[in-house]
Amino acid sequence: MTTSGSRDFNLDVGEIIEEAYERCGLEVRTGYDARTARRSLNLMFADWANRGLNLWTVTQGTITLTAGQAQQTLTSDVVDVLEIVLRRDNTDFTIQRISRGEYLTIPNKTTQGRPSQFYFDRQIDPVINLWSVPENSTDQLIYYYVRRIEDADALVNTTDMPFRFYPCMVAGLAYYLSMKRAPERAQLLKVVYEEEFQRAADEDEGRTPLKLQPSIQYLRV
């Protein structure tokens, strides 16, 4: 049996919009139809960031620290910071994430030393607050962050995601469009979307083996 031998199936933004409209029983007839669908697609991407469906966007960043500077400003495309280590003399030290309340209650935020904790402040331009305050200008922060999904803009462009998320993306856009254009189909399309979303979310989880770390306890007689 002869097969295609190709593995390059892809959908551009225009094709995604067309498929979503067809699931609503509609056609793309005007420029506004495409524009409103593209807007809905970008709103859905923002919702995915809130729901944590973007593991493929995890990226590594590096910051060289400056002595006496606790705040490190990140770019606006950073959605969340997952892990940070401090690299000193080719040795990595884990930095623990703490909450806003925990950071607030640190008595002396100006104490200098090797940073061991960080508070991630989610501003428009997010900020990492370090404690202790860096004591030299040679240490580096190595961090993994979730970046924002790129916008769906030109219809001929492809989207910023792996092909295995196409079913979820098309189903979601169809549901979003149905709320505006085909409300009689909205409930059915919502069910399909939530099923596809759950499958995508399950697949998006990091697969790491179970690690059992022994705990040494001392017996008191």
Please indicate, yes or no, whether the overall pTM of this predicted structure exceeds 0.85: no
Task: Answer with the residue of higher pLDDT: 158 or 217.
Answer: 158
Residue 206 has pLDDT above 80, yes or no: no
Nearest to 120 by CA among 159, 81, 89, 93: 81
CA 14 to chain centre: 24
pLDDT of residue 153: 86
pLDDT value for 207: 52
User: For residue 35, which of 129, 163, 155 has the smallest C-alpha distance?
Assistant: 155
Compute the mean pLDDT over every residue in the chain, rounded to the nearest whole number: 90
List pLDDT tens digits, range 84-143.
999 999 999 999 999 999 999 999 999 999 999 999 999 999 999 999 999 999 999 999
27-68 confidence digits (pLDDT tens): 999 999 999 999 999 999 999 988 888 888 999 999 999 999
> In which region does residue 176 sit, left (phi positive, over 0), alpha (psi from -120 to 50) or beta (all else)?
alpha
- 156-170 as b/e: b if 16+ CB within 10 A: eeebebeeebbbbbb
